[in-house]
Structure formats: C-alpha cells, structure tokens
Amino acid sequence: MINELILNYILLFIILEIYEISWQKAPSMMGMLIRMQKYYNKSIFLFLLMHPTFYFSIGFAMLTDYSIASMLLVLIKTADIATKILLIEQVFTKRELSQELSLILLAPINGFLPYIGLTIYPILIALAI
C-alpha cells in the first residue's frame, strides 16, 4: 500500500516536472528567462500557475505532516521560483545586468541540467513518506 502511494506521488511529480521542463527548456539560461518572461509579462499569476510542482510540493508537505524531506522540497521549489522572478525583474524590468551575470546567462547549458530535478525530487518524496 505504501509502495503504491509513493510510486503514485513520484509519477505525478515526474509528469508535472516534465511539463515544466518542456515549456522552460532552452540552450542557455537567458533563453529560459526569455521563455519565462513571456508568461510573467502576461500575468504573475499565470507565471506561478505554470509551476505546478510548487503547488504539488505544498500539498505534499501537508499530507506528510510537514516532514523534513517534504519541507526541503517546498524550500527548493520556492527558492527556484523566487530566483526566476528576481532574474526576470533584474534582466527585463530594471535592465541592470553585470558583465559576469550576462556571461553566465548567455553561456550554453548542458542538456542534462533541466532534468536534474527528475532525479533529486523523487528521492525527497520517497524520504518524506
């Protein structure tokens, strides 16, 4: 019973994470920010709705009585969204970008990088139950 429950949560999370990866994926961080900024400009609420794993992590934390692993998942997802919003504001709204940051954002990223969450987050889900 518990194994099925863990598997169901992990599968649901993987599906939601693949959705997020599919609309954010780009060859560089700047490309990712450009894709995210399109939704952010339409509405901050739309931007937040485009991150279903964040809401999953909050609900999952409540279901597991706020276990340490589930709270770590919420913390990571919150930091992820906050970082994206801060970068979008910095690059597109304030237009204040240091040379170092612009080099980092324009550098090509490894094709494996967007999929790191598919390995880390399921482990946290399994540990939380």
User: Which pLDDT score is estimated for 6?
Assistant: 86
Q: Which pTM value belongs to this model?
A: 0.90
pLDDT in tens, 6-27: 899 999 999 999 999 999 999 9
User: Which residue reads 């906050």 in tokens?
Assistant: 82
Is the pLDDT score of 2 beyond 80? Answer: no
pLDDT in tens, 74-120: 999 999 999 999 999 999 999 888 889 889 999 999 888 889 999 99
For residue 121, what pLDDT band results from cuts at 50, 70 and 90?
very high
User: Which pLDDT score is estimated for 18?
Assistant: 96
DSSP H stretches of helix in 25-116 = 29-42, 44-49, 52-63, 68-88, 99-106
- Rounded CA-CA distance 120/79 in Å is 15
User: Which pLDDT score is estimated for 58?
Assistant: 97
Q: What share of the chain is helix, strand, coil (3-state, %, to 5)?
A: 80, 0, 20
Asked if 36 contacts 125 with a C-beta cutoff of 8 angstroms, the reply is no
